[in-house]
Structure 1
């Protein structure tokens, strides 16, 4: 069949409008699937989910590694400075994490033989922290040291370290720090006791020396020998070497006179 003549282009206004209307027809389907026009893009910015409030980090927990570092290096004055500054600047003095700073601070004061300040730190604690078993044990140790009760110093130091080794004590970093500092305290305490006894005694029985140092003869005698003391095996008597060091540097300031008088009074009864 022959093709008809070509359709002439629109010439009238009506024909032109009809041609334009034809171009607005939607795109034909292909394979039975329509090709819809793209949806209009919304100009509304999607809302992000609300962010949780920023949690401030606990200053007591943050400073614990630095305190532990100073303790490992026996830099007690620097440990005290850092702990005191943290205490001053921290905003919440009721939280139990404060023990991370308070406990090493008190032990550092005891190591440095600054008993009045150690007691002051304990006294300024709120009741909610003062009744904590760890603080109560530390307070008992401080009280024994203040009273010059040598046997109690050792038993309460042991009670403190035993407490932090129990499974229910769930702060291993603090437990390790306490064990280290209690050991350093006992070392410094015994060292001062050697010097103090050297001023008070010309000779001392082994049994009395064991009480003062909290050690059996097997541990005590080698340490006494390193301090220059001699030991008579037949009489079981130790002879300290005299010292000229001031008493004030050997015992806690608040109990030095009573402590020294107690030892001097014992000389008249026990000196050989």
Structure 2
């Protein structure tokens, strides 16, 4: 079984390609009738789907894994715990599941990249949902200590009131560029010309 394409994607940190590569390789190998279940990198495959925010594919993969493999691979069970927390929108649970397992070197980079991407996504949800939020609630959502979440928010332009321990969300400024369409300018010129003559 040649997993060099997957190994290259992991080495180059092309994590957004991992799930697709695994899906394609799995189909190719299965179509040849080769037994691959024992050697298959299920943990990487599962985390790849979580990285892509594809919970349905992650659930389908989990259900298709033989129970003997699930029972013999604690890293796979740990990866699925992350998926369960995502499915239940247990924000703090996602971080606890990530930190609650000592990931092997092959999965560590992918898990760290997933955590960073997940934190950014949750932070953007907080930006869109709140105008103010307590430090404790933000820490819960982002899986950080209160000091870390305060620093993180301040780095992203939020303000902090130490008396009330509240963070004020700074909404990003929406910049819209107005593009001038030359054909519209030409029609306007012709229209004004017609009015003058």
Same fold (TM over 0.5): yes
Change over 3 Å in CA distance of 1:88–1:228 after alignment to 2: same
| TM-score, with length taken from structure 2 | 0.77
Q: How far is 1:82 from its partner?
A: 2.0
Provide the alpha-carbon RMSD of the alignment: 2.1
1:81 aligns with 2:81: no
Residues 199 and 244 in structure 1, CA contact (< 8 A), matched pair in contact too: no
**Aligned equivalents of 2:116, 2:105: Cα separation in 1:** 17
Q: How does 1:219-234 map to 2 (within 5 A)?
A: 219-234=148-163
Q: How far is 1:237 from its partner?
A: 0.6
Say which is worse superposed, 178-187 or 214-223, in terms of deviation.
Answer: 214-223
**Aligned equivalents of 1:148, 1:117: Cα separation in 2:** 17
Write the deviation string for residues 176-211 of structure 1: whole angstroms up to 9, x where unpaired: 121111111111111011111112211001111111
Match of 1:199 in 2: 128
| TM-score, with length taken from structure 1 | 0.57
Q: How far is 1:226 from its partner?
A: 2.9
Change over 3 Å in CA distance of 1:85–1:136 after alignment to 2: same
Q: How does 1:81-160 map to 2 (within 5 A)?
A: 81-90=20-29, 91-95=34-38, 97-98=39-40, 100=41, 102-132=42-72, 133-160=74-101
Residues 70 and 76 in structure 2, CA contact (< 8 A), matched pair in contact too: yes
Q: Where does structure 1 lack aligned partners over 5 or more consecutive residues? A: 1-58, 165-174, 246-272
Residues 19 and 52 in structure 2, CA contact (< 8 A), matched pair in contact too: no
Change over 3 Å in CA distance of 1:215–1:117 after alignment to 2: same
- Identify the match of residue 145 of structure 2 among 216, 220, 224: 216
SS at match of 1:131: helix
Residues 133 and 168 in structure 2, CA contact (< 8 A), matched pair in contact too: yes
**Aligned equivalents of 1:67, 1:80: Cα separation in 2:** 9
1:237 aligns with 2:166: yes
Q: How does 1:177-188 map to 2 (within 5 A)?
A: 177-188=106-117
Q: How far is 1:236 from its partner?
A: 1.1
**Aligned equivalents of 2:67, 2:54: Cα separation in 1:** 23
